[in-house]
Chains A and B, each alone.
Chain A
Amino acid sequence: DQQVKQNSPSLSVQEGRISILNCDYTNSMFDYFLWYKKYPAEGPTFLISISSIKDKNEDGRFTVFLNKSAKHLSLHIVPSQPGDSAVYFCAASKSNFGNEKLTFGTGTRLTIIP
């Protein structure tokens, strides 16, 4: 049972345009969400997170939006740069004590076209 879904395995975006990566979840108990970025031959690196008490969190070119009623989150990258080409994983957790594990989606491969 895939509780966190990234339905687009790949996405290509022109350099300078906006990249929008989507993620859906099914478990209404999730209250903390993260995006990780992964380059080939490296481990994932943390990008940005959002708590369920917010609907938006911004960090430079990266903004994460959370729509709790739709159980949907998205990552916006603007403007997109060639170095953003990577696989992006969204992850979710229940942040209360004793439920610390992260549940990851299957990833979206983003390619930025120069």
Chain B
Amino acid sequence: DSGVTQTPKHLITATGQRVTLRCSPRSGDLSVYWYQQSLDQGLQFLIQYYNGEERAKGNILERFSAQQFPDLHSELNLSSLELGDSALYFCASSERPDSTDTQYFGPGTRLTVL
């Protein structure tokens, strides 16, 4: 158990809908990362927050947005969903914001868009 929790575990929805994925980092970790893993793909970095502020942005679509709240949990909002958004979405956390600090991953949310 990494100490990072993600809800829900599974999500099935229809095209055009909007969903929110939630992540609670490990106790004491200030940095939260979101990754997308599509079929047969590596993990694609989406976005990073550190202590409530956006820190780094990857290949995140404009239809997607995220935020980190004062209690340090984070939410990833996906809107106008398309079939291609079906993927595993992982959240990770670390104490420091730099890449040399170990990132601890949650178990992921599997999103299926029908």
Taking beta carbons and an 8 Å cutoff, which residues of A are in contact with B?
2, 4, 6, 9, 32, 36, 41-46, 49, 51, 89, 91, 93-95, 97-107
**Contact between A32 and B43, CB atoms less than 8 A apart:** no
Chain B contact residues: helix, strand, loop or mixed: loop
**Contact between A4 and B42, CB atoms less than 8 A apart:** yes
Interface centre among A45, A51, A102 (most CB of B within 10 A): A102
> Could you tell me the distance between the alpha carbons of A46 and B99 in the complex, rounded to whole angstroms?
12
Q: How large is the interface on B (under 10, 10 to 19, 20 to 34, 35 or more residues)?
A: 20 to 34
Chain A contact residues: helix, strand, loop or mixed: loop
**Contact between A103 and B45, CB atoms less than 8 A apart:** yes
**Contact between B100 and A32, CB atoms less than 8 A apart:** yes
User: Which of B42, B58, B107 sits near A107, CB closer than 8 Å?
Assistant: B42
Which residues of chain B are within 8 angstroms of A97 by Cβ–Cβ distance? 98
Taking beta carbons and an 8 Å cutoff, which residues of B are in contact with A?
2, 4, 33, 35, 40-45, 48, 55-56, 58, 90, 92, 97-100, 102-108
User: Which of A6, A100, A105 sits near B99, CB closer than 8 Å?
Assistant: A100
**Contact between A95 and B100, CB atoms less than 8 A apart:** yes
> Could you tell me the distance between the alpha carbons of A49 and B110 in the complex, rounded to whole angstroms?
28
**Smallest Cβ distance from A107 to chain B, in angstroms?**
6
Given contacts A43-B90, A43-B106, contact A100 B98 (CB under 8 A): yes
User: Which of B41, B48, B55, B104 sits near A46, CB closer than 8 Å?
Assistant: B104
Which residues of chain A are within 8 angstroms of B41 by Cβ–Cβ distance? 106
**Contact between A101 and B42, CB atoms less than 8 A apart:** no
